[in-house]
Amino acid sequence: MNYVKLPNSDIEVSEICLGTMTFGNQNTQQEGFDQMDVALDRGVNFFDTAELYPVPANGETYADTERIIGNWFQKTGKRDRVVLATKIAGPGDYTKHIRTSGFHTDAIRHAVDQSLERLKTDYIDLYQLHWPERVTNMFGVRGFKHQPNDVWENNFEAILNTLSDLISEGKIRQIGLSNETPWGVMKYLELSHKGLPRMATIQNPYSLLNRTFEVGNAEVSLRENIGLLAYSPLAFGVLSGKYLHGKQAANSRLELFPRMSRYSSEASTEATRRYEKLALQHGLTLTEMALAFVTSRPFVTSNIIGATTLKQLHENIDSASVVLTDEIMEGIEAIQKEIPDPAP
């Protein structure tokens, strides 16, 4: 396993990150424990979660994923071996059971304190804003459309002041963004020149089926040294190839989340078919090629994998040792040119 430092910090993380959003829904607590045991044993020291998890979000299971991770820390005593990332939920109809006050100072403070309690720890290594408060293009929306009725007012400086206080208090170490646009990233980074804390990472979707991060955000990432934590690198499991061959289980993600239909569109299915053919021609599984591609990108700090079985977890971690040849990369680019970003 290779390790890199979170940008502008001394925190060293594995290039593979364990995503945990299934813990408490698709996976039981014991299955979550087993995944964390295996991941840590195999060199994955970076775990990502959120107060929102598990998904789909609802009041009954709210924050159960953090509780499971906290119970594992309590059971194993291995908190000091893990770089822990979590997030505060943004506003929306599906988060009203959490709060309706957005990223107000009191809301951030309460969210951090509650996460610390559930996680049974006194510090969070990386604290992230799960998605912007303002209306912008995210979650499958390809282009920005101005919304005259958006009531959002720029509060970035107030947010950073609150996070700065929490850093000074030792409750969080580094901060990051998620589902953010180039404009949002640059506005936050601009404020860091005023002595406010600097965003270290941005957690956005990135996969063979969705390379929209390369349009704007990749340049910002490289030139400004803000690392991508790539989520959905297998596009909700589509890039495992299982949906091509009718192997999905009843609790598979596309079965549980039908609104993520962009991953099963005709264009996505055709692109997936071509990527699988390319992988097999070079002695790789589609999963290995898809994950290795993401991990290899120069703007990626860590690749967030998600599994529901230990077999899937092992295959995902194994991808860290896969090196893609120039011929494979040329084949990937040819498919991308013909079917660009079918699942933004």
- Whether residue 62 lies in the annotated active site: no
Give the whole-angstrom CA distance, residue 2 versus residue 283: 23
DSSP codes joined into one string, 291-313: HHHHHHSTTEEEEEE--SSHHHH
CB atoms within 10 A of CB 8: 17
Q: What are the two backbone dihedrals, phi and then psi, of residue 2, each rounded to the nearest 5 degrees?
A: -95, 155
Tracing tokens 């014991």 back to the chain, one arrives at 30
CB atoms within 10 A of CB 104: 16
Token digits for 171? 């409750």
Collapsing DSSP to helix, strand or coil, 129 comes out as: strand
Give the whole-angstrom CA distance, residue 126 versus residue 133: 19
Closest-CA residue to 184 (of 210, 208, 203, 165)? 203
Token digits for 82? 């893990």
Q: Which helix H or strand E contains 34, and what residues bound it? A: helix 29-41
Counting every residue, how long is the chain? 344
Give the whole-angstrom CA distance, residue 60 versus residue 77: 28
Residue from 53, 127, 243, 263 carrying the catalytic annotation: 53
Collapsing DSSP to helix, strand or coil, 230 comes out as: strand
Q: Are residues 125 and 84 in contact, defined by beta-carbon separation less than 8 angstroms?
A: yes
Give the whole-angstrom CA distance, residue 130 versus residue 282: 37
Which positions are annotated as active-site residues? Answer: 53
